[in-house]
Amino acid sequence: MSVLTLTIDGQEVGASSDQTILDVAKAHKINIPTMCFLEGLTPWGGCRICVVDVEGAPRPLSSCTTHVTEGMVVTTTTGKLESYRKMILEMLYAEGNHTCSVCVSNGHCELQDKAQEMKMDHVRLPYLNQNMPMDSTHEHFGLDQDRCILCTRCVRVCSEIEGAQTWAVAGRGVDSHIISDLGTPWGESDSCTSCGKCVQVCPTGSLVNKGNAVNEQIKKVNFLEHLLQMRGQ
């Protein structure tokens, strides 16, 4: 691991070669919006909300998966980047059913927060209206595929933290969706430990505790930070 220097938004900063652009930006209080990223889980780079411009790169790069290099020049905020991020949000909304007024996570949803932060007041794309199935077979939790944005946080926390590997992504393209135990109903899963970690890291109302009404599903994603501190990581 070597020490290097790069420039972010005109500010010259130091970093280590094992850090990503997002790591360095967070360390220097430079805000880059994220969605699929969650501290304590392996970066995935799927949502592309965190894209930044890197001098010499042919296209914007995801800051959560791009490692820094010596002399790198990074720009985190431009009109074009803001336009990209807003379009990505609109696509996420158009793919699923995110009717906030009837969602248990209304007021406690990261997707909703990002839309407000980026001043997204409408969706310019046609809604797919896929009417994805729900899985309410688990005794304590429920899965609403219509509200899933395929951030894979549930997949990663189940595999990397709990070690159960219950969740996976099936299908391709617009048919991609989350499944438990290769398509087994969640309530019949042999691998699920009912720990609820997947519910807590879900950024939307896709994975929820049963029995919650509108506005009642509050996620506690910071449990990962405390868990990793206890493990000395």
Host H or E run for residue 78: none
- In our burial notation (b when 16+ CB lie closer than 10 A, e otherwise), range 35-54 reads bbbbebbebbbbbbbbbbbb
Looking at 3.30.70.20, 3.20.20.220, 3.60.20.10, 3.40.50.300, the CATH number of the domain 98-231 comes to 3.30.70.20
Report the predicted TM-score, pTM, of the whole model to 2 decimal places.
0.93
CATH code of domain 3-77: 3.10.20.740
Sorting pLDDT into bands at 50, 70 and 90, what band is 217? very high
Q: Tell me the per-residue pLDDT of 155-207, one tens digit each, with 9 for 90 and over.
A: 999 999 999 999 999 999 889 999 999 999 999 999 999 999 999 999 999 99
Sorting pLDDT into bands at 50, 70 and 90, what band is 231? low
Give the burial class of 111: count Cβ atoms within 10 A of its Cβ; 0-12 exposed, 13-18 middle, 19 or more buried: buried
Domain boundaries, the chain: 3-77, 98-231
Task: Spell out the alpha helix ranges (H) of 96-177.
Answer: 110-117, 153-157
Q: Tell me the per-residue pLDDT of 41-63, one tens digit each, with 9 for 90 and over.
A: 999 999 999 999 999 999 999 99
Query: Which pLDDT does position 222 carry in this prediction?
Result: 81
